[in-house]
Chains A and B, each alone.
Chain A
């Protein structure tokens, strides 16, 4: 019987353990917070949350533009100077065969990534005041900057989409409630009007530069934010472009003038040709002093990538180990585009036959390599590990200068326009445009844009603006009239929202 007693003691003890695992205790045990996603209750509590959210909006914008090299394929490929070496999908874009069923085109006709930017920006605008209430370190001025940047990025995304798809649904809130109601397309004029009003509001709040000594921004100093965040001048630059896109050149002139009058406040300078084309020039993180709006892929911070750069399309041997580039500018186009032998970007000396080839490598070969932008890692010459750290520059000082020249020319102010055009021409060593030049000034400006901005994602939009002004190319006139300048909307996107209709040209 002795054993029985101890047996019962053991049993009682264990039963006690068993029952002590009550449901209440268990429920607590079962609350395991995820270690890789943050719950609703953890966000919008402190200053780090707003910083992460703000950085998130920038990162999402970068992703939208870098995905499948979208920025360059939208901007450079349709009837562009670049042609595809042998990629069928790029050929299709070149020929505006945009219903072709290549995965690349399917992805480029999907606007979801731009709406992710818009949603994230709206959410930041709505929720930043919560943090202001909760975290004393988060100041009014900090919030003002954050919201203004979010507004700018959201307006930028809308502008970018309108250029590609025309009418797009206009969502001005995040609607962060899990509802997801279908919304129809909004007239592009209304979308751009919203973008414009947002940018005007934001421009008032944005600074010329962040964390100017002795201030800091999110605890970081000036150098960390330099040419990374959107400034007052970024907002004005985008405003100038929104106006130009709609042909409102009076407004373009006003906005661009503001940029050109104030650029020293953001410590910007015009770039020399060597800074433009050096691997450690304005496209690298070493020298970025002419950028107005750009996105960074800093190698030292582990953000250099193999895709999302013009280099991933254009570079090849001998700069990187790939044999042939995906796209290149044919030799006869090059000689046509750069007629001036003194052009420091590219020129052929008619007497000696020598070439100035800052923009191109291997010009003597059959396929010249477009090497204006070639930031391998942080700008090294060793192409064995080809990831690229180049900035995606949306606009820079030279671009806005030429845009204002365009606006002035369109408004008939030829002399002022000429002065601006000649700033760029002088910098690039080519003969100045003068009163006696027989060439139409609009033509001269757009040819200059073509040379200066080659490979920066402008060519397609420039052609549209050019042809809207000059209306001399019947093919383009028809394309503009039929809305063929827009891209089709992906069937995926259409399927998910029954209120959307395809662009008529692509039906």
Chain B
């Protein structure tokens, strides 16, 4: 049986196209079978002595070092869950690391925030500025650059495949994931780690007997149960509005699809959900082989995973191949290579919003798709002619040379490459686009090259006083590039690509055929970073230690005069256990660490180093990417973007961290507590200037944001492992509070979009009107006694049927001055509670995940009630998706206002739509059994080290007061649009075999 599974996986690997590796893996496998004693025989005792041998082993098995021992993800728990991306692996597992997964669409981008926001999040464009860096085997993973948003009318998704580049690593290939908290360790990583660092090590080659591991699971994402509705429900929902406030004209423009109750498509059965929600199969299979001699070892890993959403047929497929070889040609010289290759193929959701946001061209949206299965099925059929291919290829490679110059002097040099490219080819046939088809092609890549050198010197004065010195330089070269073309109204629906003339001798070389207009954009951004640092560690008798990092960073994105920044970092550690409690048995460990670091925060746009600049700025609100006037390129000051002057300097983050690590009673109980204070200062933000110079604003340094917080992890063996039955439990939680400490030019307040930044207040607060009911009679509406003017909203007098918004400053005008900061989009407390119970070969683990104190602006509810404005203006807000034919808004909760009123009564910026979104979720539950415990199995299969079968369930239960579908499906800035695909319950059956 086992042999068969193995055989199948090997064949799969070979078929994947990574054939050289597959063949290699297969060869190694057969070699192992034919020469079982090869390894033992190969030890060349005659050549090197035992000491050197151990030394060698140690050296070649230690390609990337772990940064810390604490703050790691329990990989055993995570590997039995059907998760595909690093944000999912770390969710809830590390105190202080908050993961926002705003859709169940597999492979979509998530937001990671460590120890609070270091910059305000106004839209998806700003995500990169708050994310911690993710290092895989020491290679910082590059992210998609936000520059595509410059040509996008709508910023719901980034242009291109929009695949999360952190979804490229298979969980079974990961040895450990940890969060680096220590300021000095972060400082050593430099500007990329200013927002924190997640340190991922993949499993690496090991010398010794060849080991084979095979993991596989199969599962089903469960279909969501919803309460569908038809036009009758909608008609009844609208009736009170028309009864109370509608006049004859309003009746005349009543939407046709609601007016005709004999239309069975709208008024008949609402069974669209049968086609929209489906049980979706998912699976994973992977194989790894490890082995080698003392001079050289290797590891191969191959995997294929499929993930899916239960909604809208969204799917994700991934192929991984990973290879690692370590060699020690001489005892003083080792070479290590790591190579990861990933391909991701993603089938995205088919919402109208996402489609029209890309096409940027709105057809008539007055009639929604009918909720009937037949109509929706016919609509889905049209997708057979559509094309929506999203591919991402990712390669990471590291080559490390390590030289032991003397016993205490070591030199290493590393070349790291991270390259990823994304393709997206979209074609929508004319049947989907109102007789006007659409084609677009995107190609973009991010390339990162890092060349790093380190010289380390170990100097022991005596056994008690130990010094370590580390000198390093890093040169990093990032290139981000994309090209994008789109065209409308091609000749027919059969040609789904942009056909050009390929004859370079002709005048029409590369001109599109068929008389269609093709719009093209491309952009390139290049960043270079050069860093040098010195690190000194001093340790006194394992009791006290002091560390310091001094570094000097220069970036091409900072102007010449301010290009180089010097940043120091210090930390100290006091091991109380070794010092004071050495003899006390009950104290196993007690350490206090404290540190402070300043780390420069990387600027990623070459706009800043350019200073006063010129660019093409011909667009307007409907047409952001307008390239020319009369066919000529145009150049002007960046009026729409804002002025950038001289003297732009490095932003930086100062952080202080004090951590107590303790464990007691022979490590049965442990508790770790950290407090931190993190200030991100001198950051750049657009500030207002008089409009009479034509600019939207000017970019200045001076934004300061402080985050304070407390993180606690407590755990222990409630019933110890020595018993047949044992129970381990741990809980982690993190409090965080942010506040704005400064704005440029001493400003106290700055309104940006729909947010108000105020010094001394949190940056994630909403800025909204306070709703106090509805005006039911004219005499309720206040009148200014001085002017006899009726209370008005920016000049529009309130009338009966309008909401009562609190006039905060009592000036009888409701305007921006009357909006208050209320609610936070970021949770105050996050964490998770983990339990593991085992009995004989069985084990059961459960993860509860919680997030408390955040609020949500319910945009979905606002737009449902705002049907008059939304439907009358043909915009993206007028779109009614098929999945909105369900009772997803608690309509009893909201009062009936006059929807025709000019004060826009159902605007989302009021506390009527603000609601609490705290939740506790039973995120995962796993039950497993170790088969190798079955008597006789081990005897038959001598090489069997482990054979574990398990069933697991994820997203099993949610406790929340939130009125929408799921309190997690919230946009990154806190609005709930209802667009997130369900994080549906998923059940899997899996097996893990180690041979």
Number of chain B residues close to chain A: CB under 8 A: 102
State whether A3 and B330 are in contact (beta carbons under 8 Å apart), knowing that A116-B639, A384-B430 are contacts in the complex.
yes
State whether A307 and B405 are in contact (beta carbons under 8 Å apart), knowing that A88-B869, A302-B517 are contacts in the complex.
no
The stretch of A56-64, A336-344, A349-357 in contact with B is A56-64
- A43: min CB distance to chain B, Å: 5
- A116: min CB distance to chain B, Å: 3
- B635 in contact (CB, < 8 A): yes
Query: Which A residues touch B488, using CB under 8 A?
Result: 385, 387
- B135 in contact (CB, < 8 A): no
Q: Is the CB of B435 within 8 A of A56?
A: no
- B787: min CB distance to chain A, Å: 10
State whether A492 and B691 are in contact (beta carbons under 8 Å apart), knowing that A14-B413, A178-B646 are contacts in the complex.
yes
- A129: min CB distance to chain B, Å: 18
- B47 in contact (CB, < 8 A): no
The stretch of A25-33, A275-283, A438-446, A450-458 in contact with B is A25-33
Contact of B623 among A38, A100, A308 (CB under 8 A): A308
Contact with B along A315-329 (1 / 0, CB 8 A): 000000111101000
Query: Which B residues touch A182, using CB under 8 A?
Result: 690
- B514 in contact (CB, < 8 A): no
| A99-B689 Cα distance, complex, nearest whole Å | 23
- A292 in contact (CB, < 8 A): no
Query: Which A residues touch B434, using CB under 8 A?
Result: 321, 384
* Most interface-central of A3, A55, A92, A224 (chain B CB within 10 A): A55
State whether A107 and B621 are in contact (beta carbons under 8 Å apart), knowing that A21-B473, A38-B613, A60-B636 are contacts in the complex.
yes
Contact with B along A94-122 (1 / 0, CB 8 A): 00011111100001001111011111100
Query: Which A residues touch B645, using CB under 8 A?
Result: 178
Q: Is the CB of B332 within 8 A of A38?
A: no
Q: Is the CB of B607 within 8 A of A34?
A: yes
- A468 in contact (CB, < 8 A): no
| A496-B698 Cα distance, complex, nearest whole Å | 12
- A335 in contact (CB, < 8 A): no
- B233 in contact (CB, < 8 A): no
Contact of A11 among B405, B473, B628 (CB under 8 A): B405
Query: Which B residues touch A11, using CB under 8 A?
Result: 403, 405, 411
Q: Is the CB of B629 within 8 A of A59?
A: yes
- B620 in contact (CB, < 8 A): yes
- B41 in contact (CB, < 8 A): no
Query: Which B residues touch A387, using CB under 8 A?
Result: 361, 488
- A251 in contact (CB, < 8 A): no
Q: Is the CB of A497 within 8 A of B690?
A: yes
Query: Which B residues touch A79, using CB under 8 A?
Result: none
| A324-B643 Cα distance, complex, nearest whole Å | 41
The stretch of B186-194, B265-273, B519-527, B929-937 in contact with A is B519-527
State whether A56 and B607 are in contact (beta carbons under 8 Å apart), knowing that A63-B626, A298-B631, A495-B688 are contacts in the complex.
no
State whether A101 and B794 are in contact (beta carbons under 8 Å apart), knowing that A56-B636, A117-B694, A119-B637 are contacts in the complex.
yes
Chain A minimum-CB-distance residue to B435: A384
- A86 in contact (CB, < 8 A): yes
- B633 in contact (CB, < 8 A): yes
Chain B minimum-CB-distance residue to A183: B692
* Most interface-central of B610, B691, B698 (chain A CB within 10 A): B691
Chain A minimum-CB-distance residue to B694: A116
State whether A52 and B634 are in contact (beta carbons under 8 Å apart), knowing that A89-B873, A496-B690 are contacts in the complex.
yes
Query: Which B residues touch A435, using CB under 8 A?
Result: none
- Name the interface residues of B499-556: CB closer than 8 Å to any CB of A: 517, 519, 523-528, 530, 554-556
Query: Which A residues touch B611, using CB under 8 A?
Result: 39-40
Contact with A along B605-633 (1 / 0, CB 8 A): 01101111111111111110011111111
- B667 in contact (CB, < 8 A): no
Number of chain A residues close to chain B: CB under 8 A: 106
- B638 in contact (CB, < 8 A): yes
Q: Is the CB of B636 within 8 A of A100?
A: no
| A387-B636 Cα distance, complex, nearest whole Å | 26
| A99-B629 Cα distance, complex, nearest whole Å | 34
Query: Which A residues touch B411, using CB under 8 A?
Result: 11, 14-15
Contact of B403 among A10, A113, A491 (CB under 8 A): A10
- B363 in contact (CB, < 8 A): yes
Query: Which B residues touch A118, using CB under 8 A?
Result: 694
Query: Which A residues touch B643, using CB under 8 A?
Result: 178, 180
The stretch of B121-129, B703-711, B898-906 in contact with A is B898-906
Query: Which B residues touch A55, using CB under 8 A?
Result: 628-630, 632-635
- A31: min CB distance to chain B, Å: 7
| A32-B525 Cα distance, complex, nearest whole Å | 9
Q: Is the CB of B796 within 8 A of A97?
A: yes
- B767: min CB distance to chain A, Å: 14
| A326-B796 Cα distance, complex, nearest whole Å | 22
Query: Which B residues touch A385, using CB under 8 A?
Result: 361, 436, 488-489
State whether A7 and B405 are in contact (beta carbons under 8 Å apart), knowing that A18-B473, A62-B618, A491-B816 are contacts in the complex.
yes
Q: Is the CB of A7 within 8 A of B330?
A: yes
- B373 in contact (CB, < 8 A): no
- B872 in contact (CB, < 8 A): yes
Query: Which A residues touch B903, using CB under 8 A?
Result: 100-101
Q: Is the CB of B615 within 8 A of A32?
A: no
Query: Which B residues touch A225, using CB under 8 A?
Result: 630
- A51 in contact (CB, < 8 A): yes
- A36 in contact (CB, < 8 A): yes
Contact of B612 among A17, A32, A40, A497 (CB under 8 A): A40
Q: Is the CB of A52 within 8 A of B618?
A: no
- B356: min CB distance to chain A, Å: 12
Query: Which B residues touch A305, using CB under 8 A?
Result: 622-623, 626
| A496-B517 Cα distance, complex, nearest whole Å | 41
- B218: min CB distance to chain A, Å: 46
Chain A minimum-CB-distance residue to B517: A302
Query: Which A residues touch B872, using CB under 8 A?
Result: 86-88
- A463 in contact (CB, < 8 A): no
- B962 in contact (CB, < 8 A): no
- Name the interface residues of A353-404: CB closer than 8 Å to any CB of B: 384-387
State whether A101 and B793 are in contact (beta carbons under 8 Å apart), knowing that A21-B475, A53-B635, A68-B622 are contacts in the complex.
yes
Q: Is the CB of A59 within 8 A of B618?
A: yes
Q: Is the CB of B692 within 8 A of A115?
A: yes
* Most interface-central of A29, A171, A180, A307 (chain B CB within 10 A): A180
Query: Which B residues touch A322, using CB under 8 A?
Result: 363-364, 874
- B893: min CB distance to chain A, Å: 24
- B693 in contact (CB, < 8 A): yes
| A49-B691 Cα distance, complex, nearest whole Å | 25
Query: Which A residues touch B616, using CB under 8 A?
Result: 56
Q: Is the CB of B606 within 8 A of A323?
A: no
- B845 in contact (CB, < 8 A): no
Q: Is the CB of B623 within 8 A of A183?
A: no
- B30 in contact (CB, < 8 A): no
Q: Is the CB of B636 within 8 A of A68?
A: no
State whether A323 and B364 are in contact (beta carbons under 8 Å apart), knowing that A98-B795, A101-B796, A496-B690 are contacts in the complex.
yes
- A190: min CB distance to chain B, Å: 15
Contact of A120 among B526, B555, B631, B636 (CB under 8 A): B636
Query: Which A residues touch B362, using CB under 8 A?
Result: 306
- B808 in contact (CB, < 8 A): no
Contact with A along B665-708 (1 / 0, CB 8 A): 00000000000000000000000111111111010000000000
- B253 in contact (CB, < 8 A): yes
State whether A178 and B405 are in contact (beta carbons under 8 Å apart), knowing that A63-B618, A92-B902, A307-B622 are contacts in the complex.
no
Q: Is the CB of A52 within 8 A of B632?
A: yes
8 contacts between A and B (CB under 8 A): A7-B332, A11-B405, A31-B556, A34-B610, A66-B622, A119-B639, A303-B631, A492-B691
Beyond contacts A92-B902, A308-B620: 18 other A-B pairs, Cβ-Cβ < 8 A, are A15-B455, A34-B525, A39-B613, A58-B629, A60-B639, A63-B618, A63-B626, A67-B622, A87-B873, A97-B795, A99-B795, A102-B904, A116-B694, A118-B694, A182-B690, A306-B361, A492-B691, A497-B691
Which 7 A-B residue pairings sit nearest by Cβ, starting from the closest? Answer: A99-B795, A307-B622, A116-B694, A34-B606, A56-B636, A301-B631, A67-B620
